[in-house]
Amino acid sequence: MENFVFHNPTKLVFGKGTVEKIGEYLKKDGIRKVLMLYGGGSIKKNGVYEKVVRSLHDNGIEKVEVSGVRPNPVLSKVHEAIQVARENNVEAILAVGGGSVVDSAKAIAAGFYYDGDIWDAFIGKYNVKKALPLYVILTMSATGTEMNGNAVVTNEKTQEKFYFSSKHVYPVLSIVDPTTQYSLPANQVVYGAIDAISHVMEYYFDVAGSDLIDRIDEGIIKTLMETTEVILKEPENYEARANFCLATTLALNGLTGLGTTGGDWSSHELEHAISAFNPDIAHGAGLAIVFPAWMSYVKEQISEKLIKFGKNVFGMSGEFSPDDVINQLKSWYKKIGAPVTLKEVGINKEDIEKITQLANKHAPFGTVKELKMEDIRKIYEIAYE
């Protein structure tokens, strides 16, 4: 186990009826005007928008709105919202939505005080020194961004999907009411589960760790698998939905990384190139494709961990190989309706070179095995069919 410091400053407000409390929390913190950021309008259909607006009004909080944040959020929307935030002298950002909205809000919060282009933070030219306070009402559990300091955004002009991390963009407070997620389409539940499972696996297959954290990891993954199957059949099963939501938060709030070297994250780097190349491919879908391919490529380095994973997550017994475990994971992804090959999501064989070039912009990466351009290409070839 590696040395570590664990500090998470985000207050998590979890459970039924918590959305209506946002105005009280903002008022208590002395916030008088917010930029309210959201996506395509689903919050107006499920009643969340009305609850938020009423709570703000009842507590004397002014708001200006920016909507239209898309899945795989883009830099141009971040630029637009920064301008609106400055023109209206807001005192905080209120993100109402899923990971794309929250990640965009983090970039907006950081960009508010920065004279240059906030993309500089994503390409390593700027270390965030200050940000507007961020408040979150989460309407889709997947990325864990509601309780960490990471943000991923795509630069449409360069087809680069990069991330930055900063202690300054941890949300002050995140509200998670599982009932707001009852109406989510099945594919969003599936891809949210795969995203969260992938976050845990990035740490689980790290070169360092501990038995305690491994058991926590295995418990989170098993919970996500079990609750996903229940939710797909019973979307309004509160206990399943609540356990799912909490598991996705715990998957990337720092807990699962304790004692590791920081995780491998190769699969995320590989996937970001895929959804930068084609933004219509959901992040979770891309991870369902590349993570098993990465496992196959590095199975010699992680063979013992794969056997442990097979026993403790899938309940496999007797004689079985690392390949059997990888196939078991792919089988479960297929069972819940996720793609497991690049071919299934419309990537052509000739596209592999372009995607390889995009991923190579961050190479070399990986702790289990350092991946360079040729390694990246081979993994995509494994993932193709």
Which CATH number belongs to the domain containing residue 288 in this structure? 1.20.1090.10
- Verify that 139 and 31 share a domain, yes or no: yes
Q: Number of structural domains, the chain?
A: 2
The last residue of one of the domains, among 130, 153, 180, is 180
Q: Report residue 76: phi and psi, to 5°.
A: -60, -35
CA distance 22 to 10: 14
Residue 317's CB is within 10 A of a number of other CB atoms, namely: 8
- Verify that 232 and 340 share a domain, yes or no: yes
Q: What is the pLDDT of residue 209?
A: 83
- Verify that 224 and 173 share a domain, yes or no: no
CA distance 336 to 319: 26
Instruction: Work out the pLDDT band at 164, boundaries 50, 70, 90.
Output: very high
- Verify that 324 and 342 share a domain, yes or no: yes
Q: Would residue 1 count as lying in a domain?
A: no
Instruction: Work out the pLDDT band at 224, boundaries 50, 70, 90.
Output: very high
For residue 41, pLDDT over 90 is answered with: no
The last residue of one of the domains, among 180, 201, 235, is 180
- Verify that 99 and 205 share a domain, yes or no: no
- Verify that 252 and 337 share a domain, yes or no: yes
The whole domain housing 30 covers 11-180
Q: Would residue 170 count as lying in a domain?
A: yes
The last residue of one of the domains, among 129, 148, 180, is 180
Q: Would residue 88 count as lying in a domain?
A: yes
CA distance 203 to 286: 18
Write out the DSSP string of 194-221. HHHHHHHHHHHTSSS--HHHHHHHHHHH
Residue 370's CB is within 10 A of a number of other CB atoms, namely: 11
Using one digit for the tens of pLDDT, what is the confidence trace for 250-284? 999 999 999 999 999 999 999 999 999 999 999 99
Kindly compute the dihedral angle of the four CA atoms of residues 305, 308, 313, 315, in this order, to the nearest 10 degrees. Answer: 150
For residue 43, pLDDT over 90 is answered with: yes
Residue 34's CB is within 10 A of a number of other CB atoms, namely: 27
Nearest residue to 109 (alpha-carbon basis) of 182, 168, 191, 178 = 168
pLDDT (mean) for 66-93: 97
Q: Would residue 357 count as lying in a domain?
A: yes
Using one digit for the tens of pLDDT, what is the confidence trace for 44-79? 999 999 999 999 999 999 999 999 999 999 999 999
Q: Would residue 102 count as lying in a domain?
A: yes
Q: What is the pLDDT of residue 112?
A: 98
- Verify that 111 and 219 share a domain, yes or no: no
* pLDDT, greater one: 1 or 194: 194
- Verify that 287 and 377 share a domain, yes or no: yes
Whole-model pTM: value is 0.96
**Average pLDDT of the residues of the chain:** 97
Q: Is the peptide bond before 178 cis (omega within 30 degrees of 0)?
A: no
Q: Would residue 199 count as lying in a domain?
A: yes
Using one digit for the tens of pLDDT, what is the confidence trace for 353-369? 999 999 999 999 999 99
For residue 236, pLDDT over 90 is answered with: yes
Q: Would residue 101 count as lying in a domain?
A: yes
- Verify that 18 and 163 share a domain, yes or no: yes
Query: Which token pair is 361?
Result: 């912009």
For residue 146, pLDDT over 90 is answered with: yes
- Verify that 152 and 194 share a domain, yes or no: no
Query: Which token pair is 369?
Result: 């095995």
Q: Would residue 34 count as lying in a domain?
A: yes
CATH number at residue 34: 3.40.50.1970
3-class secondary structure, 179 = helix
- Verify that 313 and 217 share a domain, yes or no: yes
- Verify that 44 and 135 share a domain, yes or no: yes
pLDDT (mean) for 315-337: 98
